[in-house]
Structures are given as C-alpha cells and as structure tokens.
Structure 1
C-alpha cells in the first residue's frame, strides 16, 4: 500500500506546475513606441484563455485535494488511476494555447477546431475522474472511517457524467455554431465549480472532526 499523503503531495506539485506553465503563454507584444497600451489590449485572447484554464485547473485541484483527503489507503491500481487523471489534466495547456492563438487571428474555422480540441480534453478529464470516483466507491476499505457512512453524500457520482454530457454537447454544437459550442464549454467548467461546492460540503460534513480542522 502507498501512503495517501505522499500521493497527494505529488499530485499537488503537478497541479502547481500546470498552473505555472499557463503563464508562459504571456509574451511581450510587438509594438510601436507610444502604442504599447493598444498592443496589450490586442493580447486579450491570451488573458481570456489563461483565466478560463486557471479557474478550470484550480477547480480540478480543489476536487482532487478534497477527494483524496477522504482516502486512507492507496492501492497500486488507485495510484495508476490517479496518474491517468493527472495525465489528462496536463493536456489542457495545449488547447489553451490553441484558443488564445485562434481568437487572436479571428478565423471562425480555426476557433471551432480549438474549441472542439478543448472540449475533447475536458471530456477526457471528466472520464478519468469518473473512473477514479467509481473505483474508490467500489472499494470502501480505502476510505477513512467516518461517524456516519452515507455513500450517496460521500460520492456525488453523477457529477462527472453530467460534465461528460455537457462537453459532448459542446463538441456537437460547435459544428453548427462555434459560439454555442464555446458557451457549453464554459458551462461545463462552471458546472465543475458548482459540483465542487456540493462535493466539498458533503465530504467535509462526513469527515471526522480531527480531519476537518487540518
């Protein structure tokens, strides 16, 4: 068995690196003297893509952190699933760069491709979280003992499935309207934030008091 705190520390480090890498997309703009402000404004696609992906990765980290705070034991298979989850999240940097680049050039076809690529990665991430949730749900011996056991409160099992559906809709609608597809893509990310708040309340309410104070 692996120690849960070691796995969580390694995962937290990877999340920190991923968020840091997002900043590297910012570069000094080319500008004529006296026109720096206009050149900075032209970089709004980079800022938009950065903010969206920062919030997305940040929410996923909160999910991951709260989830693993309820785990007492780590099996080799759970460790492998966790690595799959982390791998899927590392992919988000690429479509983030695609979004910022295509928005800057304002080509509708390229923007559609970037939105679909982002939605595919987000879909993959949600699928890995679903695998993670299901595995731990089916192995209750890995969880910390709690005062009251309520499986449905402890695992919001439908949340990853709902996000999967949203991202599939984003992919499909992007071929008819890139803006509608983009709307559903943002809706999926917003859903993660809502789902996190629900999961956090359920998990915190179910954990022993000594854990809640840490």
Structure 2
C-alpha cells in the first residue's frame, strides 16, 4: 500500500489535536497585563503539549521520508500512536486547570509514556516491513533517544507520586532532548543521493 493516505490522515489528526488544545486557552477577564497571570498554568501546559505534539509530527514526517510502503500492521500501529496523542489535550487541560496537581500530572505522564511506547511499536512495524538492511532501519539504528524518552517518562510518572514538579521537569527534559533536530533520516537519505 502507498503511504500517502496514512501521512495525510496523521497530519489531519495532529492538526485537530493542536486546534483542540489552543481552543482551551480562553481570553482573560479584564484589560490589564496582570489579568494574564491566572492563565499561566494553562499556558505552560499548552506550550509543553504543543512542543510534544509538534515533535511527534516532525519525527513522524522525517521517518516517513524513508518509508516506501505500508501494510495493515503499520496502519494499526499508526492509529495506536494517534489514539494516545488524541488524549494529550484532555490531560493538558486537566493539568492546567488543577494548577499541576499530582494526579493530573501523573496522568499526563502516562499519556506521554504511552505515546512513546506506541511510537516505538510503529517504528518496529515499519522496520519489519522494510527489512533490517533498509535505509529506514539504518536511520533508526538502536533508537537510544526514543528508548531513553520512554524510560524518563516512566521515572517522571513514579516521581509524580512524590512531587509533581519533578515529574514536570522530567517531561520538559524529554521535550528538550527532542527539540534538538534529529538528523538521522536526513543523514541516511542524504547519503543515498548522488
């Protein structure tokens, strides 16, 4: 099967996720700059979630540059990623509304953890379809950063039981790790060009 429909559908779902998140930010009551202050928890949550969704979109896009074709297993694995990503707006809003209370921060971490696990399943399905000697497999390598991200999310969830702020710091660390551009696919695909 061609990959175009999967990419278009994924782009559409991710655009809706970002739209839902921004619609949860409401105009402050009042006309002073200080009227924005009560919105800071929701805004911080929005920024973190926007970055995370953007990182998934960016990495998905780069990875699919090395993908030639998809099958049913890949379609379901991709839907699995999108399912967990679709929960990001709910947990983002809950965390912001609660001013970073323990339970919402833990649930936010669980959603991020599951996004990472689901993305790992998608990567494995793609490598299985294209082979271990494919450009895709070479670009993925041992996926240290992906595996480390899932581990840090798990640690963040555990720390949520002790201190939600430590969890948030760990979630920001993962986002910062991925914010540095991942050139694995560009490097491998660039080597292929004459």
Q: Deviations over 1:91-126 (max 9, x none)?
A: 1001100121111xxxxxx61111101100000000
Q: TM-score, normalised by structure 2?
A: 0.89
Give the alignment partner of residue 204 of structure 1, picking from 179, 186, 192: 186
Q: 2:113 aligns with which of 99, 108, 123?
A: 123
| Whole-angstrom distance in 2 between the partners of 1:150 and 1:68 | 9
Q: 1:205 to 1:82 in 2, by over 3 A?
A: same
Q: Are the structure 2 counterparts of residues 64 and 167 from structure 1 closer, same or farther at C-alpha, using a change threshold of 3 Å?
A: same
Please state if 1:72 is matched with 2:62. Answer: no
| Partner SS state of residue 162, structure 2 | coil
**What is the count of residue pairs matched by the alignment?**
192
The 1-side partners of 2:125 and 2:56 are apart by 18
Instruction: Name structure 2 gaps, 5 residues minimum.
Output: none
Aligned to 1:192: 178
SS in 2 for 1:73: coil
Does residue 10 (structure 1) correspond to residue 9 (structure 2)? The answer is yes
For the aligned residue pairs, the C-alpha RMSD in angstroms reads 2.3
Q: CA deviation at 1:156?
A: 4.7
SS of structure 1 residue aligned to 2:52: helix
Distance 1:150 1:65 in 2: 13
Corresponding residue of 1:83: 79
How many angstroms apart in 2 are the aligned matches of 1:93 and 1:68?
25
Aligned-pair distance for 1:69? 1.5
Q: Does 1:38 align with 2:34?
A: yes
Unaligned runs of 5+ in 1: 104-109
1:182 paired to 2:172: no
Cα separation, 2, equivalents of 1:165 and 1:154: 18
* Cα distance in 1 for residues equivalent to 2:105 and 2:155: 12
Q: What is the TM-score normalised by the length of structure 1? A: 0.81
